[in-house]
Amino acid sequence: MKKTYKIALIPGDGTGPEVLREGVKVLKAAGVKFDIKFDFQEYDFGGKRYLETGVTLPDSAIEEFKKFDAIYLGAIGHPDVKPGILEVGILLKLRFALDQYINLRPVKLYPNVETPLKDKGPKDIDFVVIRENTGGIYTGIGGATQVGTQNEVAIQVMQYSRPIVDRCVKYAYEFTKKRNKKKMLTLVHKCNVLTHCGDLWVRSHKEIGDKYFPDIKQDYNHVDACTMWMVKTPEYYDVIVTENLFGDIITDLAAMIQGGLGIAAGGNINPDGVSMFEPMGGSAPKYTGKNVINPLAAISAGGMMMDTLGEAKIAFAIDDAITKALQSGKIKSLSAGKMGMGTTEVGDFVASLV
Ligand code: IPM
Ligand code: MN
Strands 275-279 and 3-12 come out as unpaired
DSSP letter assigned to residue 92: I
Domain ranges (residues) in the chain: 1-106+267-354, 115-258
Summarised one tens digit per residue, pLDDT across range 236-247 is 999 999 999 999
Calpha distance 65→258 (Å, rounded): 32
Ligand 1 mean position, distance from CA 76 (Å):
10
Q: What is the pLDDT of residue 345?
A: 98
Give mean pLDDT, residues 166-184.
Answer: 98
What does the buried/exposed string (b/e) look like for 62-98 if buried means 16 or more CB atoms within 10 Å of the residue's CB? eeebeebbbbbbbbbbbeebeeeebeebbbbbbbbbb
For 293, other C-beta atoms within 10 Å of its C-beta total: 30
Ligand nearest to the CA of 245: 1
Give mean pLDDT, residues 204-232.
Answer: 98
Q: Is the CB of 91 under 6 A from ligand 1?
A: yes
Summarised one tens digit per residue, pLDDT across range 177-191 is 999 999 999 999 999
Looking at residue 243, its amino acid is E
Ligand 2 mean position, distance from CA 248 (Å):
5
Q: How confident is the model at residue 288 (pLDDT cuts 50, 70, 90)?
A: very high
| CB distance 264 to 281 below 8 Å | yes
Fold agreement (1-106+267-354, 115-258):
yes
Q: How confident is the model at residue 229 (pLDDT cuts 50, 70, 90)?
A: very high
Q: What is the pLDDT of residue 8?
A: 98
Please report, for the chain, how many H helices and E strands are present, in that order: 12, 12
Pocket test for ligand 1, best of 57, 85, 87, 245 (most atoms within 8 A of CB): 87
Summarised one tens digit per residue, pLDDT across range 30-74 is 999 999 999 999 999 999 999 999 999 999 999 999 999 999 999
Q: What is the pLDDT of residue 247?
A: 98
46 to 12, 14, 17, 136, 297: CA distances (angstroms): 5, 10, 11, 26, 19
Q: What is the pLDDT of residue 20?
A: 98
> Rounded to an integer, what is the distance from CA 203 to the centroid of its chain?
26
Q: Is the pLDDT of residue 90 over 80?
A: yes
Residues with CB under 5 A from ligand 2 (ion): 248
Q: What percent of the chain has pLDDT over 90?
A: 99
Ligand 2 mean position, distance from CA 277 (Å):
14
Among residues 347, 320, 345, 337, the alpha carbon closest in space to that of 108 is found at 320
Q: Is the pLDDT of residue 323 over 90?
A: yes
Q: Is the CB of 235 under 6 A from ligand 1?
A: no
Q: Is the pLDDT of residue 2 over 90?
A: no
Average pLDDT, the chain: 97
The residue whose C-alpha atom lies closest to atom 4 belonging to ligand 1 is 248
Which alpha helices (DSSP H) does the chain contain, by range?
16-34, 47-53, 59-65, 85-86, 93-97, 162-179, 195-212, 223-232, 244-257, 296-308, 312-327, 343-353
Q: How confident is the model at residue 292 (pLDDT cuts 50, 70, 90)?
A: very high
CATH of domain 1-106+267-354: 3.40.718.10
**Max CA separation in the chain (angstroms):** 68
Ligand 2 mean position, distance from CA 43 (Å):
23
Q: What is the dihedral sign for C-alpha 284, 287, 293, 295?
A: positive
Calpha distance 202→292 (Å, rounded): 45
Q: Is the CB of 248 under 6 A from ligand 1?
A: yes
What pTM was estimated for this model as a whole? 0.97
Q: Is the CB of 253 under 6 A from ligand 1?
A: no
Q: Is the pLDDT of residue 1 over 80?
A: no
Summarised one tens digit per residue, pLDDT across range 130-150 is 999 999 999 999 999 999 999
Q: How confident is the model at residue 342 (pLDDT cuts 50, 70, 90)?
A: very high
Strands 153-156 and 142-145 come out as antiparallel
Name the class of domain 115-258. alpha beta
